[in-house]
Chains A and B, each alone.
Chain A
Amino acid sequence: MSAHPILKNTKNLILYLIVWFGIIASYQAVLTFGIRLELKYALADNLISNILLLGLGLSFWYSAKYISFENNSVIKIFLSHIFGGIFISVLWLVISYYLINSLVTIDEVYSEFFLNTLPWKFLIGVLYYFLVTAFYYLVIYYSSYQERIIKEAELKNLVTQAELKSLKFQINPHFIFNSLNSMSALTVINPDKARSMILKLADFLRYTLASNERQTTNLSEELKNIRLYLEIEKIRFEDKFEFAEDIENECLRIKVPSMILQPLFENAIKHAVYEALEKVTLNISARIKNGFMEIRVENNFDGNVSGKSGTGIGLTNIKNRLELIYNSKNLIDIRKEKNIFAVSLYIPIN
C-alpha cells in the first residue's frame, strides 16, 4: 500500500505522462490558435506551469498517505487539504512566474495575460490538488479494501480447515481396547490368528493416522480400509454379520473424503450388530448417476430394539464435512425403514 501508485511501475508512469502530454498539447493549441499568444510566451507558459503541475501531482501522494482517513478527524483532513490546496496553488503560480520570467523576459502583453488568467489559474491549481489527492485516497481505499477481502478469504479458509479437521473421523477407543482384548485371548487360544489380527489392526491404524494428513482418497482405498475394519470386527463377533459389496468399476478411482465410510460402518456395527441377536447384513454399493457418485451403505436391524438411537453426531459430522468440502448441501440421505437403515452419500464428480 505504501508504494506510489503511479511510480510503482512504468506502465502507470507512461499513462500519466501521456495524459499530461495531451493536456499540454491541447493547452498549446488554445494559446496559439485561440488567444494567439506569441509562440515564445505560449511555449514557456505552457511547459513551465504544466510540467510543474505534473511534478507536484506526483508529490500529493504523500499528503494523502500521511493524512489518512483512519487516524484523523474529518475536520482536520478537510482543513489540511484546503490549506494544502491554496498553498500548493500559490507556490505553483509564484514559481511558474519566476521561471517564465527568467527564461523569456516578460513583456507587457504576457504580463497582462498572466494577470488576467491568474484567478482562473489559482482555481485550477486548487482543484487540481483536490482532484489528484482524491484520486490517491481512492487508490488507498481500494487497495486496503482488496487486502481486506484477501485476508477475509484467508481467514475463512483457515476456519474451514480447522472445522474439517474437527469433523474428521476420530478412532473409537472402545474398538481398539476390545480388539486388544480379543487379541490377548487369541494369543493363548490361537496364536496364528492373533498375529493376523494384530497385522490387520496395524494396517487399519496406519491408514487412519495417514488420513489425518490428507483430505481425499480413492474410493478403492477407502473400501480396502473398510474391509480391514470389518475383518477385525468379524474376529470379535464371529458370524454375527455378513458384508457384501456392489461397486461399479468406474467408481473405484473416484476421489472421496478420506475416512468418510468408516463412521457409517461403525454406526452399523454399533447399532445393528452390537444390539442384534441374529445375523446382520451390511451392504455397500456405489454407482454413477447424474454427475454424482452415489455410495449407499445399508444394514438390516432388529426393529424391536428400542431407545439407544444414538446421538447422530457421526452422521451430522459427515453431512457438515461434505458440505464444507463440496460447498453444496443435501449430499447425504438417511433412510430408516421398518428394519432397514440406509445412508446414501452423493459425491460430486468433476
Chain B
Amino acid sequence: MEKEINALIVDDEHLAREIVKKYLEKYQNINIIGECSNGFDAVKEITEKKPDLVFLDIQMPKLNGFEMLELLDEQPAIIFTTAFDNYAIKAFEVNAVDYLLKPFSEERFNEALNRVVERTQQKNINKENVDKLIEHHDQQPELLERVVVKDGSKISIIPVETLKWLEAQDDYVRIHSEGGRFMKKKTMKFFEDHLNPNMFIRIHRSSIININSIKQMELYEKDSYRVILKDDTKLPVSKTGLQRLKEIL
C-alpha cells in the first residue's frame, strides 16, 4: 500500500497550476490539498496544512519561491516548476527534489514524482553529496535586493537600502532597519557574503553596518575606534573592521 501524499501547488498562473493538476490526476495516492497564487498565501497554507510535497514556481508576486522557503520552519519536499533555467544550482542548495523547466512533459513530471517517493524512503542520504557539490561550485554569491522575515504570522519585506545595521545574536541575526527591528535565522557570514560589499561592511565579529547610516567615527580608547550611527548607536570597530572601513571610505 502506497503512502498518501498531500500536495500543494504554488504558481501565479492558473494554467500552470492546471497542467500540474492534470498530470496528478492518475496518482491515486496524491491529494491536492490546495493551490496558491502567491508566496504570502503559500507560507500560510504550508504552515497550516503541512503538505508533504509542494510544486513551487520561482517568480511570483511579493515573495519569490526561494524567499518563501526561507520563512518556513519545516520544509516539505519541493519540486520547482519554472521557466528560468538559471536557478537550478540554487534549487539544489535548498535541497529541492527536482527542478522542472516549463513547459515539461508528463514523462518528466512522472520522473520527478518518482524521486519524491525515493526521497521519502532514503531521507537525507544524498544531502552530504549535494552540499559537497555546492561547495565545489565556487560561484559569486548573488547579492540580496531584499530580506524577508517572519514574525509570528506577519511577513515583512525589507529592501536592503533600508537596512541600518545587523547584529549577531546567537543563532540569529538582529536586523535594524528603517522599518523596525527583526530577527532572521541566518549567520553573519551569510549576510557578509550576500550584501553589496560597497554598501555594507562587517566592522566587528558581531556587527555589519550600512555605510550610509554612519554619522561619525571616534577614537574610543587607545588604538581602538568606534562608529556612531545616525540613530546614535555606538558600535565598536575591530582591527580588521577598521581596515575595511578605511578601504571603502
Q: Is A350 an interface residue (CB 8 A)?
A: no
Interface status of A186 (Cβ within 8 A of chain B):
yes
Interface on B for A, CB 8 Å cutoff? 12-16, 18-19, 22, 38, 59-62, 83-84, 101-104, 145-146, 157-160, 162
Partner of A185, one of B15, B146, B158: B15
A236 at the interface (CB under 8 A from B): yes
Task: Give every chain B residue within 8 A of A173 (Cβ-Cβ).
Answer: 83
Within the complex, what minimum Cβ distance (angstroms) separates B188 from chain A?
21
Residues of chain A from 180 to 238 with CB closer than 8 A to chain B in the complex: 180-186, 188-189, 235-238
Q: Tell me if A40 counts as interface (CB < 8 A to partner B).
A: no
Q: Which residue of chain B has its CB nearest to the CB of A275?
A: B61
Q: Evaluate contact between B19 and A181: CB separation under 8 angstroms.
A: yes
Given known pairs A178-B102, A307-B159, the reply for A184 and B19 (CB within 8 Å) is yes
* Chain B residues, Cβ within 8 Å of A180: 102-103
A306 to B147 alpha-carbon distance, docked (Å)? 10
Chain A residues, CB < 8 A from B16: 178, 181-182, 185
Q: Decide yes or no whether A37 CB sits under 8 A from chain B.
A: no
Q: Which of B103, B159, B160 contacts A184 (CB 8 A)?
A: B103
Please, how many angstroms separate the alpha-carbon atoms of A305 and B145 in the complex?
A: 12
* A238 vs B38: C-alpha distance when bound (angstroms): 15
Closest-CB distance, B114 to chain A (whole angstroms): 21
Complex Cα spacing A181 to B55, Å: 15
The CA-CA distance from A173 to B15 in the complex, in Å, is 18
With contact pairs A189-B15, A274-B12, A277-B38 given, residues A178 and B146 touching in the complex (Cβ less than 8 Å): no
* Top 4 A-B pairs, shortest CB-CB distance: A307-B146, A185-B19, A177-B83, A181-B102
CA distance A188 to B83 in the complex (A): 20
Say whether A31 faces chain B, with CB atoms less than 8 Å apart: no
Asked if residues B102 and A177 are in contact (CB atoms below 8 Å), the reply is yes
- Given the interface pairs A178-B102, A181-B15, A185-B22, the reply to whether A306 lies near B157 with Cβ below 8 Å is yes
- Contact between B62 and A308, CB atoms less than 8 A apart: no
Which of chain A's residues has its CB closest to B105's CB?
A: A184
Contact string against B for A residues 146-159, beta-carbon threshold 8 Å, 1 for contact and 0 otherwise: 00000000000000
Chain B residues whose C-beta falls within 8 Å of the C-beta of A189 in the assembled complex: 15, 18, 22
Interface status of A174 (Cβ within 8 A of chain B): yes
Interchain nearest-CB distance for B41 vs A (Å): 9
- Separation of A292 and B80 alpha carbons in the complex (Å): 48
Distance in angstroms from A239 CB to nearest chain B CB is 10
Q: Are B62 and A305 in contact (CB under 8 A)?
A: yes
* CB pair B14 A188 closer than 8 Å: no
A186–B145 CA distance with the chains assembled, in angstroms: 35
A274 touches B61 (CB 8 A): yes
Residue A276 at the B interface, CB < 8 A? yes
Q: How far is the CA of A186 from the CA of B15 in the complex (A)?
A: 7
Question: Are A174 and B19 within 8 A (Cβ)?
Answer: no
Closest-by-CB residue of B relative to A238 is B14
Q: Are A307 and B84 in contact (CB under 8 A)?
A: no
Q: How far is the CA of A276 from the CA of B12 in the complex (A)?
A: 10
Q: For residue A175, which residue of chain B has the nearest CB? A: B83
CA distance A279 to B100 in the complex (A): 29
B residues within 8 A CB of A184?
19, 103
A188–B25 Cα distance when bound, in Å, is 12
Interface centre among A180, A183, A185, A189 (most CB of B within 10 A): A185
Chain B residues with CB under 8 Å of A178's CB are 13, 16, 83, 102
- Residues of A within 8 Å of B145, CB to CB, are 307-308
Inter-subunit contact B83/A306 (CB<8 Å): no
What are 10 pairs between A and B in contact, CB < 8 Å?
A174-B83, A180-B102, A181-B104, A184-B19, A185-B16, A185-B18, A237-B12, A276-B61, A306-B158, A307-B157
Chain A residues within an 8 Å CB radius of B61: 274-277, 305
B65 to chain A, nearest CB (A): 13
- CB proximity of B87 to chain A, nearest CB, Å: 12
Whether B22 contacts A306 by the Cβ 8 Å rule is no
Contacting B at CB under 8 A, from A297-349, are: 305-308
The interface residues of chain B lying within 8 Å CB-to-CB of A186 are 15
Q: Chain B residues near A305 (CB, 8 Å)?
A: 61-62, 157
Least CB distance from A121 to B in Å reads 81
For residue B38, which residues in chain A have a CB less than 8 angstroms away from its CB? 277
Q: How far is the CA of A307 from the CA of B145 in the complex (A)?
A: 6
Cα–Cα, bound, A237→B14 (Å): 7
Residue of B nearest to A177 (CB): B83
B81 to chain A, nearest CB (A): 8
- In the bound complex, residues from chain A placing their C-beta under 8 Å from that of B104 are 181
CB < 8 Å neighbour of B83 from A181, A276, A277, A307: A181
